[in-house]
């Protein structure tokens, strides 16, 4: 990798000519690319490319020889693409997607389509399309489809897991072999209840997970390819599997397993014998990202990026472990993720990302060791100008070990913004580039992110430990993180503000209620502020599973919900507040914003507001995002100042 390393170091050298501080708009702009996929023959890449305002994502098919024409395909205005998969050298499958500004990339709506590289041969693979007069919609698939495997031995064909919402007493799952050129399909499996299905290397369903009426998982498997379905024994997995890979013998498998709800561990399975061997276990942390060898090879490395990033090679001397280690050396301070590799295992598409680098995609030719950069997420933001993200670990007041991150570009105590993540259950902050945190750090603020209990990536038990603690232990965890940073001279205790979106917006308002001594101001962005309203009218109440989730996580003790509602305790907020909301937010409607705004104004609290017309749960428009960032900057300067202090007052 010596030649490659030298070339890459030239790419990564600081841009001396660009010394001007990035603007708020630079951080508010969306990435230029959200997904990249390599064709099986290595001649094309397909990319998901958002529009400048992020209200549309197009598919671009780019010839890597630079000779052919770039094809740009789109569903239309306000439509997005995701889940790009090459089914043949000239065929791409993709999903129609939904984009939510608070999410990192568009996510599938379960409708699948295919196109050739010219855009002239297109097929609807799965989706529900109503009849219009005399025109009959071709597909009537009421459900959610996902590509689970490309059949290399049958170019153009894939396996699709389809969750059918109207084909049984409950939604059922079916496994189909689909010809992406013609749209023809063959059902291979039908499983009662919506399930996650895993297949072996010969496209045979070998295991599935479904949930009961209490949302508890149940595992089933086939001991051999021709065996009947039976419950999976505890000798393989006691409670839940998150991922499953089969080796070439279709008996050996690798899986991330949680036996009782604890953080999962990585095992090697012997399906026929019903036994397993532990490969890796990192107490309190899930396995993370699994990298596989070659096109369809077994796992060779595990990447944990939850707290302090680390890479574990299952066999450090193996071919792909050494390749990955070489690339890690070529990109100091980055994590390397393998994405796709050509059918002949010659050309590899990988991504290099870090806490300061939004990420780039590269194509490596393993034959001549040449490399080309094929896409950058945010090329206008230079890594050397960004702040460092420092993993921290501390004890909560009851002894629970918690983790978080401090993003900063200075040493010593200075002003700090506390930024809780949304959710609250399942999401988690990780060691990665965060545009909001980097913007604030560029203005002189340290930014604290705490993975309070309830956060993801530490197992279901840790998530459950935060249930019914919206305004209780979750707030204590955040405050304990703030105090830890103060004690370790990372923040000036007299210059701290809090800012968050969604649940983070709720926490931003609850923190100065529960801990008024810690904060000088608070910023809530598309936040939940009245739990009574949420419990009665939230969008989740429209389904039985949503009602069960709210009962588990919020409960029905309305006295506690009132006590933990910022809008009903506005008199306890003694700091200036800035509230931002989208006028057509359906996930957290305007009644939440209005309830808190009116209560604060009634109690004489200084309130600055921003309501963006036509925006939902987070802002799409770069203009609106820029205005939000600029107004946050002005608000913070007014109440906690910018830049580190040189001496303690």
User: CB-based contacts of 75: which residues, under 8 Å, 6+ apart?
Assistant: 81, 96
pLDDT at 509 over 80: yes
3-state DSSP assignment of residue 630 = helix
* 643: confidence class by pLDDT, cuts 50, 70, 90: low
Per residue in 258-271, pLDDT (tens digit) is 999 999 999 999 99
User: CB-based contacts of 195: which residues, under 8 Å, 6+ apart?
Assistant: 163, 173, 208, 209, 210
- Lowest-pLDDT range, 36-40, 532-536, 541-545? 541-545
Computed over every residue of the chain, the mean pLDDT equals 91
User: CB-based contacts of 294: which residues, under 8 Å, 6+ apart?
Assistant: 320, 341, 345
Domain with CATH 3.40.50.1820 in the chain: 388-640
> How does DSSP classify residue 616?
B
Amino acid 647: pLDDT: 37
> How does DSSP classify residue 140?
B
CATH topology of domain 33-193: Methylamine Dehydrogenase; Chain H (2.130.10)
Q: Report the half-sphere exposure of 234 (CA within 13 A, side-chain side).
A: 3
Distance of alpha carbon 370 from alpha carbon 239, whole angstroms: 45
Distance of alpha carbon 261 from alpha carbon 209, whole angstroms: 15
Region of residue 509 (left: phi > 0; alpha: psi -120 to 50; beta: else) = alpha
Taking residues 311-321, what's their average pLDDT? 96
Taking residues 287-296, what's their average pLDDT? 94
Per residue in 11-58, pLDDT (tens digit) is 223 333 345 889 999 999 999 999 999 999 999 999 999 988 888 999
pLDDT > 70: what percent of the chain?
A: 94
Cβ atoms 332, 356 nearer than 8 A = no
Cβ atoms 197, 238 nearer than 8 A = no
Distance of alpha carbon 540 from alpha carbon 554, whole angstroms: 12
Instruction: Name the CATH superfamily for 388-640.
Output: Alpha/Beta hydrolase fold, catalytic domain (3.40.50.1820)
Helix axes 319-330, 2-12, angle to 10 degrees: 30
Distance of alpha carbon 574 from alpha carbon 60, whole angstroms: 51
Per residue in 344-371, pLDDT (tens digit) is 999 999 999 999 999 999 999 999 999 9
Q: Helices in 400-554 by DSSP H: which ranges?
A: 435-442, 460-464, 473-487, 503-514, 531-537, 544-553
Per residue in 433-463, pLDDT (tens digit) is 999 999 999 999 999 999 999 999 999 999 9
Amino acid 173: pLDDT: 92
Per residue in 120-173, pLDDT (tens digit) is 999 999 998 776 665 555 688 889 999 999 999 999 999 999 998 877 667 899
Region of residue 496 (left: phi > 0; alpha: psi -120 to 50; beta: else) = beta
Model pTM score: 0.92
Domain with CATH 2.130.10.10 in the chain: 33-193
Cβ atoms 376, 36 nearer than 8 A = no
pLDDT at 429 over 90: yes
* 547: confidence class by pLDDT, cuts 50, 70, 90: confident
3-state DSSP assignment of residue 199 = strand
């Amino acid at each position: 990798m010596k030649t490659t390393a030298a070339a890459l170091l030239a790419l990564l050298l600081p841009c001396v000519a660009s010394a001007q501080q990035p603007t708020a708009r630079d951080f508010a702009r969306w990435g230029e690319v959200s997904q990249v996929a390599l064709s099986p023959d290595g001649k094309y890449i397909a990319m998901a490319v958002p529009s400048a305002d992020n209200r549309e994502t197009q598919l671009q098919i780019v010839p890597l020889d630079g000779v052919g024409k770039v094809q740009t395909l789109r569903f239309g205005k306000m439509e997005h693409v995701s889940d790009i998969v090459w089914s043949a050298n000239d065929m791409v499958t993709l999903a129609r997607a939904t984009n939510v500004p608070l999410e990192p990339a568009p996510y599938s709506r379960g409708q699948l389509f295919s196109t050739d590289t010219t855009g002239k041969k297109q097929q609807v693979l799965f989706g529900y399309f109503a009849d219009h007069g005399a025109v009959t919609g071709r597909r009537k698939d009421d459900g959610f489809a996902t590509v689970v495997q490309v059949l290399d031995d049958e170019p153009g064909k894939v396996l699709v897991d389809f969750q059918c919402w109207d084909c049984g007493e409950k939604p059922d799952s079916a496994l189909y072999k689909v010809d992406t050129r013609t749209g023809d399909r063959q059902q291979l499996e039908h499983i009662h209840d919506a399930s996650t299905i895993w297949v072996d290397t010969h496209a045979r369903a070998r295991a599935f997970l479904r949930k009961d009426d209490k949302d508890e998982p149940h595992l089933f498997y086939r001991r051999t390819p021709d065996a009947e379905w039976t419950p999976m024994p505890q000798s393989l997995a006691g409670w839940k599997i998150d991922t499953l890979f089969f080796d070439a013998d279709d008996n050996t498998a690798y899986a991330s397993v949680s036996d009782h709800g604890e953080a999962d561990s990585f095992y090697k399975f012997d399906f026929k014998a019903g036994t397993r061997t532990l490969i890796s276990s990192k107490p309190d942390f899930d396995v993370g990202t699994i990298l596989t060898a070659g096109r369809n090879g077994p796992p060779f490395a595990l990447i944990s990026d939850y707290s302090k990033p680390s890479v574990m090679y299952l066999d450090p001397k193996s071919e792909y472990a050494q390749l990955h280690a070489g690339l890690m050396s070529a990109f100091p301070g980055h994590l390397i993720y393998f994405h796709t590799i050509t059918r002949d295992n010659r050309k590899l598409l990988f991504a290099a990302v870090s806490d300061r680098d939004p990420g780039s995609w590269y194509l490596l030719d393993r034959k001549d060791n040449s490399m080309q950069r094929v896409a950058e997420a945010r090329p206008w933001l230079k890594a050397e100008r960004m702040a460092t993200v420092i993993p921290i670990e501390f004890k909560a007041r009851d002894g629970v070990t918690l983790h978080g991150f401090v993003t900063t570009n200075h040493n010593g105590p200075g002003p700090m913004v506390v930024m809780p993540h949304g959710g609250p259950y399942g999401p988690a902050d990780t060691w990665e580039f965060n545009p909001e945190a980097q913007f604030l750090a560029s203005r002189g603020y340290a930014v604290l992110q705490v993975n309070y209990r309830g956060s993801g990536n530490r197992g279901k038990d840790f998530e459950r430990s935060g249930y019914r603690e919206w305004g209780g232990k979750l707030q204590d965890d955040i405050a304990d993180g703030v105090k830890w940073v103060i004690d370790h001279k990372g923040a000036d205790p007299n210059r701290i503000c809090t800012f968050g979106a969604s649940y983070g917006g709720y926490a931003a308002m609850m923190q100065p209620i529960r801990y008024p001594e810690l904060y000088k101001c608070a910023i809530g962005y598309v936040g939940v502020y009245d739990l009574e309203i949420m419990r009665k009218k939230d969008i989740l109440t429209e389904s039985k599973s949503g009602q069960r989730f709210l009962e588990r996580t919020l409960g029905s003790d309305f006295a506690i919900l009132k006590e933990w509602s910022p809008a009903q305790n506005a008199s306890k907020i003694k700091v200036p507040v800035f509230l931002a909301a989208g006028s057509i937010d359906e996930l957290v409607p305007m009644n939440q914003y209005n309830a808190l705004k009116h209560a604060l104004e009634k109690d004489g609290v200084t309130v600055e507001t921003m309501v963006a017309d036509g925006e939902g749960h987070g802002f799409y428009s770069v203009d609106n995002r820029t205005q939000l960032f600029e107004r946050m900057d002005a608000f913070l300067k007014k109440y906690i100042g910018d830049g580190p202090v040189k001496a303690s007052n």
